[in-house]
Amino acid sequence: MTETLTPRTYRVVTYGCQMNVHDSERISGLLEDAGYEAAQGDEADVVVFNTCAVRENADNRLYGNLGHLAPAKAARPGMQIAVGGCMAQKDRDVIVSRAPWVDVVFGTHNVGALPVLLERARIEQAAQVEILESLERFPSTLPSRRESPYAGWVAISVGCSNTCTFCIVPSLRGKQADRRPGDILAEVQQLVADGVQEVTLLGQNVNAYGLDIGDRDAFAKLLRACGTVDGLRRVRFTSPHPKDFTDSVIEAMATTPNVMPSLHMPLQSGSDAVLRRMRRSYRAERYLGILDRVRQFMPDAAITTDIIVGFPGETERDFEDTLAVVREARYAAAFTFQYSIRPGTPAATMPDQVPQPVVTQRYERLVELVGEIALEENRKLVGTEVEVMFAVGEGRKDATTRRLSGRARDNRLVHVAVGDGELPRPGDIARATVTYGAPHHLVADGGISGLERTRGGDAWEARNSAPRTGVALGMPALRA
């Protein structure tokens, strides 16, 4: 009689940016390729933390969650815990020292080694720490278990060659390395063949694409090439850098129908003095000039940004300069951060660190202004018709208002009343008229028209009865 072995289960807990989310999809793909199955409940045989070293208190969250899992691991023989990502690249042996129950520590450059390291740790009954200093192969060559069947990430480069004084990413992910254009398009075409209809091009400095292959216009060419992929409905990209943002990219965005009229353009500070200390190689006037040209070609583009408040040496005048840029830029949304020291960055040892009460007060003023402007901009859209692609994770159906949620072409979140007719599936597309604008979303309570049951919706429906992916942005009782 042949004994049937139960497959080991896994969960992936992700911290940080879109690149980390993309890496987690690769981790899930690798584990499933090695015979693991996504855990369906709270317990898993293998828990993988894919970490971030940029966010504030990242180490506290990680070690807190590792401590929470220690009793569970002690009670479950054979359970394994792995830590990867930027925190693993930075802390290396520190993780095993502080949390000796961790089985595997792997870095940003050797995601593909995880299944082997897990097996080695199991056989040798000893922690495995393997951190490579440089990339051996581009991560997109690894198998993937995508979170969404109708939208996908495509990494076009890894690493960053900038030297921003507040950022530790270049030292953890290395200098920028570009992927060949043909390989990128091949992946995009394969995703579309699988039902994906929205692709987001990823890079730490996405519009610097081409530096590694010696072509300054490579990113604009890539956008145009995406426009030739039949069945690809929406193309987005993140995150660009103002210093590399060229008129050819603006023209490509404006003339390629499936490139969306949305742009995330990090500002960081509106003060030229602070930008110099940040080692950001643009100034406020150039930054605003880019936004002017974008809106000249795409008047309805929604522009979002990142802003850091309280960078070392920031004066009240510097902060007022930032508020002035925010007023002129008219952002649809802004990701705002209070500066905090990141060990290993030049800014960590700069003089004139801004007192925390001052940082908090400035931050609150900035958030208030961003919210006021976003509300004004969203109210301007009342009465206009938007195309919405419905999505999982943007909000659940409300029994009272009968609303489903999705994203407009400009990436604004839209809550749509769907009425009594046929319900859109995640991935389906319809038109709706905006009836209300709030600071962070639009509402369309007049129902939908022109519902298109898309290949993306078909892909979601086909997967809906299958086991869920093991990628998670959170985990019960764990703090992501």
3-state SS of 26-40 is HHHHHHHHCCCEECC
Q: What is the pLDDT of residue 396?
A: 55
Sign of the torsion angle spanned by Cα atoms 291, 294, 298, 299: positive
CATH 3.30.750.210 domain position(s) in the chain? 146-260
CA distances from 444 to 302, 408, 441, 447, 450 (A): 18, 11, 10, 7, 14
CATH of 146-260, one of 3.30.450.40, 3.30.750.210, 3.40.50.2300, 3.40.50.1110: 3.30.750.210
Q: In which residue are the tokens 């989310």 written?
A: 21
Question: Which bin fits 61, alpha (ψ -120 to 50), beta or left (φ > 0)?
Answer: alpha
The class (CATH top level) of 385-454 is: mainly beta
Question: Which bin fits 214, alpha (ψ -120 to 50), beta or left (φ > 0)?
Answer: left
Report the alpha-carbon distance of residue 220 to residue 240 in Å, rounded: 12
Q: Of the candidates 233, 149, 145, 234, which has an alpha carbon nearest to the alpha carbon of residue 456?
A: 149
CATH topology of domain 9-136: Rossmann fold (3.40.50)
Tens digits of per-residue pLDDT, 46-58? 999 998 877 666 7
- Dihedral, 251, 253, 256, 257 alpha carbons, nearest 10: -130
Q: What is the pLDDT of residue 472?
A: 40
Those residues of the chain that have pLDDT short of 70 are: 1-5, 55-57, 134-143, 395-399, 465-480
Residue 292 burial (C-beta neighbours within 10 Å; 0-12, 13-18, 19+) = exposed
CA distances from 222 to 215, 233, 252, 263 (A): 11, 15, 9, 16
Beta strand pairing call for 448-452 and 429-433: antiparallel
Q: Of the candidates 477, 471, 413, 454, which has an alpha carbon nearest to the alpha carbon of residue 198?
A: 454
Looking at the domain that runs over 266-380, which CATH code has it been given? 3.30.750.200
CA distances from 435 to 49, 372, 375 (A): 42, 19, 13
The DSSP element (H or E) to which 70 belongs, if any, is helix 58-75
Q: What is the pLDDT of residue 83?
A: 94
The mean of the pLDDT values for the chain is 89
CATH 2.40.50 domain position(s) in the chain? 385-454
Q: What is the pTM of this model?
A: 0.84
CATH 3.30.750.200 domain position(s) in the chain? 266-380
Report the alpha-carbon distance of residue 261 to residue 120 in Å, rounded: 48
Report the alpha-carbon distance of residue 221 to residue 227 in Å, rounded: 10
Contact in structure between 144 and 29 (CB atoms under 8 Å) = yes
